Chains A and B, each alone.
Chain A
Amino acid sequence: MADLSFTEEELEEIERLKDKFPTAKAATLRVLWLAQNKYGHVKDEVQRLVAETLDLPKAHVHGVARFYTQYYKEEKGKFVLDVCTCLSCQLCGGYDILHHLEDELDIEAGETTDDGMFTINEVECLGACGYAPMLQVTNGVYVNNLTKEKVDKLIKNLRNGNMPEFESMAMPELEKRNQAASE
C-alpha cells in the first residue's frame, strides 16, 4: 500500500479529539476509529500512521487495536454483518439467523464473500436484548427483531446500496399508553 497520511482536515479533527483529554494517548481509541472510517481497517500500516500522528509508540497503538473487537485488523467486506448470538439472541433464534445468513451468502461466520460485499461475524451481546435476534451493520445501525425474510430484504437492500435506517424501539409501555389515549 502506498504511503498513508491524514489530510489537513483530518489532522484538525485529530487535534480536536486530543483536546478532549489531558493527554494525547487518551485519544488513541478515537483516532483509531477515525483511521478505520477512512481506510476500512486498522492493519499494521494504519496503526503505524496513528502512532506517528499521536507521537506514541507503535506497540501501544498495536496493543489497543488488538484489544478491541470493533477494530478491523484485516480487510473486511463492504458490509460487515455482526450477528448477535448471545443469551437473549440465542434464546430467540440468533443462531438460526446466523446460519441462514451463512447459507444465503455461502460463507461461514468470520469469512468474507468473494465479491468483497459481505463479511459475517458472530458477536457477543450488543445490548438490544429485547429486540432479539438482531445484527449490526458495519459498526453502525442496528437491525432488530430479525426474521429470515427481514434478513433477505436487508441483503437485497445492501446490494443495492441502501443502508437500513435507524429503528427506534419504542418503550412498549409508552406505546401502550399512547394507544389507550388515542382510542
Chain B
Amino acid sequence: MAQDWKSFEPLLIPDIPNLEKIDVYEENGGYDALKEILNDQETWSRKSVVEEVKQANIRGRGGAGFNAGLKWSFMPDPDGGPRYLACNGDESEPGTFKDRKIFEYNPHLFIEGALIASYAMTVDTIYVYIRGEYLSWVEMLQDAVDDAYEKGYLGDDILGTDVSIDMELTYGAGAYICGEETAMLESLEGKRGYPRTKPPFPAQNGLWGRPTTINNIETLANVPLVINNGADWYGDIGAEEHPGPVLYGISGHVNRPGVYEYPTGVPVMDLINDVAGGIRGGKDLKAIIPGGSSTPPLRADQLDGVTMNSDSLKDVGSMMGTAGMVVMDEDTDMVEVLWRIAHFYSHESCGQCTPCRDGTGWLEKVLKKIKDGEGEMKDLDLLLDIGNQMEGRTICALADAAVWPVRHTINRFRDEFEERCKKSVHAVA
C-alpha cells in the first residue's frame, strides 16, 4: 500500500477549481452523503451512521488519533435538551497548518461532515471554534456557512425533513491551550481557557453542562467520504491501522514546504525527498519532528523504513500527532531548537497547575542557560528530573507535551547538549 501513494488522487482537497463555492461543490457530488442519509433515514438510522464511521476507523486528525465514530458513541441518549458538536479549528501546535486549507479550498466538505456527525449524535447546534489569528479563514468559512443556510443544508427542517441543525462560527483571541478540547469549551463559554478535569467527560458534561462531542476539522471532513463510499473502501486507503487521507503539513528545511494530501503510511523519507523536494541547499537531513512540536524528534538514522502512521512512528519512539512534519538539516542547532520549543510551552501554559506553570518555566530557563554556554552537565539531568515531576501530574496534556520533546531531544542528541555544557565541578573526597 505504501508504494501506491504516488498515484493517489486527493479526496479532502481535490483539484477542482472554485470548489469552495457551493454550486461547484454540489456539481461534484457535494452534499450527496447528507441527502442520502436524510432522505433514507430508515436505512441510515442515527446509530447506523455512528456504526459506519466507527467501522471506518477515522482516527482523530487533531493529534490524539482516537476513533471518531467510537467517540460519537459515547454521547448519552437524547433527553430533549440541547446537545452540541464543537469543531476544533484552533490549530496552534507548532508545525501544524492544515485545517486552514479546508476552510480555504473545501469548506463545504467540513460542513457536510459536521452535519452528518450532528445527525448521528442528535446534535442541534454546531459550534466551530477557530483560532483568533485565522480571521481571514473565519471569513471564508462564514461565507460557506451562509451559502449552506441559503440552500437549506443548515437551519430548520433541513432538505424538507424534520432534522434541524444550526452552525455558529466563533473565534479565539490567541491562546494555544484553547486547542485542548475542554479549554476550548471554556473559551466557547466566554471564559479563560482553563482545561477541565476529566471525568466528567464532555459527552456527559460539555458545553453549558450538556452532552458535547469535540472533533477536529479535518476529522469531520473525512466523514462524507465514508458515507459516500463505505467504511470498507475507506479502510483500504493508506495504513491499515490508521486509514484514510491525511493533510501532511511539511515545513522547515525543505525545498517545497506546504500542505500535501496523501494516504496515511507514506514513508517519511518519501515525504521529505519526493513530496517536499528534498533538503534545501542539497544538505543532509539531521532530524524531523513528525507531527507537531510535542511529538518526539527522530534522528535521520532512525527513519529507515518508517512510515507516517501511528504504529510505525510509535515503534521508533514518536507519534503521528497532527502530521505537521518539521524537517531539520545537518546544520540545525538542536539546543536552540529545543530551547525555542520550551519557550513556546512556557509561554502557552495556562497557569492552572503548578507543575506545568513552574515546570515549563524552569525547562526554558535551564535550556537558555545551556544554549548561552552557561550550563553544566548536571543541568541535563536536572531537565530530565523536572520533566519527570511534571508529566502526568496536571489536568491536561500540555505539561506532557512540553516534557516529551525535552526528554527525547536530550536523549537522542545527548552529545550535542553535553558539548554545550561546562564540566560539572565534583567534590572529591
Residues of chain A touching chain B, judged by Cβ–Cβ distance below 8 Å, are 20-23, 25-30, 32-33, 60, 63-64, 67-71, 85-88, 90-92, 124-132, 136, 139-142, 166, 168-169, 171-174, 177-178
Residues of B within 8 A of A174 (CB): 10, 13, 15
B93 touches A125 (CB 8 A): yes
Which one of B100, B258, B348 has the greatest number of beta carbons of chain A within 10 Å? B258
Residues of A within 8 A of B55 (CB): none
Which one of B91, B94, B190, B251 has the greatest number of beta carbons of chain A within 10 Å? B190
Query: With A88-B95, A127-B92, A130-B258 in contact, do A68 and B174 touch (Cβ < 8 Å)?
Result: yes
Q: Quick one: which of A22, A68, A166 contacts B173, CB cutoff 8 A?
A: A68
Convert B160-196 into 0s and 1s, putting 1 for each residue whose CB lies closer than 8 angstroms to a CB of A. 0000000010111111100000000001111111000
Query: With A25-B189, A29-B190, A69-B173 in contact, do A88 and B135 touch (Cβ < 8 Å)?
Result: no
A125 touches B136 (CB 8 A): no
Q: Given known contacts A20-B170, A131-B97, what 12 new A-B pairs fall within 8 Å (CB)?
A: A28-B191, A67-B193, A68-B132, A69-B173, A70-B133, A71-B173, A86-B344, A91-B332, A129-B249, A129-B326, A139-B133, A173-B275
Convert B326-347 into 0s and 1s, putting 1 for each residue whose CB lies closer than 8 angstroms to a CB of A. 1010001000110011001001
B173 touches A129 (CB 8 A): no
Task: Tell me the minimal C-beta distance from A104 to chain B in angstroms.
Answer: 23
Chain A residue, CB-CB nearest to B189: A26
Q: Quick one: which of A29, A87, A173 contacts B326, CB cutoff 8 A?
A: A87
In the bound complex, how far is the Cα of B206 from the Cα of A4, in angstroms?
36
Could you jot down 11 A-B contacts, CB within 8 Å? A32-B173, A33-B132, A64-B191, A91-B252, A126-B133, A127-B96, A129-B95, A129-B251, A129-B326, A130-B259, A168-B104
Is residue B242 contacting chain A, with contact meaning CB distance below 8 A? no
Taking CB atoms and an 8 Å cut-off, the chain B residues in 311-368 that contact chain A are 324, 326, 328, 332, 336-337, 340-341, 344, 347-348, 350
Residues of B within 8 A of A173 (CB): 10, 258, 260-261, 275
Is residue B293 contacting chain A, with contact meaning CB distance below 8 A? yes
In the bound complex, how far is the Cα of B60 from the Cα of A29, in angstroms?
27
In the complex, how many residue pairs between chain A and chain B have their CB atoms under 8 Å apart? 165
Chain A residue, CB-CB nearest to B340: A90
In the bound complex, how far is the Cα of B257 from the Cα of A155, in angstroms?
26
Taking CB atoms and an 8 Å cut-off, the chain B residues in 195-215 that contact chain A are 208
Is residue B134 contacting chain A, with contact meaning CB distance below 8 A? yes
Task: Tell me the minimal C-beta distance from B202 to chain A in angstroms.
Answer: 16
B94 touches A86 (CB 8 A): yes
Residues of A within 8 A of B188 (CB): 21, 26
B340 touches A87 (CB 8 A): yes
In the bound complex, how far is the Cα of B332 from the Cα of A29, in angstroms?
39
Chain B residue, CB-CB nearest to A177: B15
Task: Tell me the minimal C-beta distance from B361 to chain A in angstroms.
Answer: 15
Task: Tell me the minimal C-beta distance from B337 to chain A in angstroms.
Answer: 7
Residues of A within 8 A of B15 (CB): 174, 177-178
Taking CB atoms and an 8 Å cut-off, the chain B residues in 70-121 that contact chain A are 82, 91-97, 100-101, 104-105
B258 touches A171 (CB 8 A): yes
Chain A residue, CB-CB nearest to B250: A130
A87 touches B94 (CB 8 A): yes
Chain B residue, CB-CB nearest to A56: B190
In the bound complex, how far is the Cα of B275 from the Cα of A177, in angstroms?
13
In the bound complex, how far is the Cα of B168 from the Cα of A111, in angstroms?
37
Is residue B61 contacting chain A, with contact meaning CB distance below 8 A? no
A25 touches B191 (CB 8 A): yes
A91 touches B253 (CB 8 A): yes
In the bound complex, how far is the Cα of B14 from the Cα of A177, in angstroms?
11
Chain B residue, CB-CB nearest to A33: B173
In the bound complex, how far is the Cα of B261 from the Cα of A128, in angstroms?
17
Residues of chain B touching chain A, judged by Cβ–Cβ distance below 8 Å, are 10, 13, 15, 82, 91-97, 100-101, 104-105, 131-136, 168, 170-176, 187-193, 208, 249-253, 256-261, 275, 289, 293, 324, 326, 328, 332, 336-337, 340-341, 344, 347-348, 350
Instruction: Name B's interface SS.
Output: mixed
In the bound complex, how far is the Cα of B311 from the Cα of A160, in angstroms?
54
In the bound complex, how far is the Cα of B132 from the Cα of A30, in angstroms?
10
Task: Tell me the minimal C-beta distance from B261 to chain A in angstroms.
Answer: 7
Chain B residue, CB-CB nearest to A128: B97
Chain B residue, CB-CB nearest to A131: B257
Residues of B within 8 A of A26 (CB): 188-190
Chain B residue, CB-CB nearest to A19: B168
Chain B residue, CB-CB nearest to A132: B251
Residues of A within 8 A of B324 (CB): 129
Residues of A within 8 A of B350 (CB): 67
A69 touches B251 (CB 8 A): no
Task: Tell me the minimal C-beta distance from B408 to chain A in angstroms.
Answer: 15
A29 touches B170 (CB 8 A): yes
In the bound complex, how far is the Cα of B347 from the Cα of A136, in angstroms?
19
Chain B residue, CB-CB nearest to A71: B173
Query: With A22-B82, A25-B190, A132-B257 in contact, do A124 and B347 touch (Cβ < 8 Å)?
Result: yes
Residues of A within 8 A of B190 (CB): 21, 23, 25-29, 64
B91 touches A127 (CB 8 A): yes
Task: Tell me the minimal C-beta distance from B61 to chain A in angstroms.
Answer: 15
| 9 smallest beta-carbon distances between A and B, as pairs | A68-B173, A70-B174, A69-B174, A129-B251, A28-B190, A130-B257, A88-B251, A87-B94, A172-B258
Chain B residue, CB-CB nearest to A28: B190
In the bound complex, how far is the Cα of B132 from the Cα of A126, in angstroms?
10
In the bound complex, how far is the Cα of B171 from the Cα of A30, in angstroms?
8
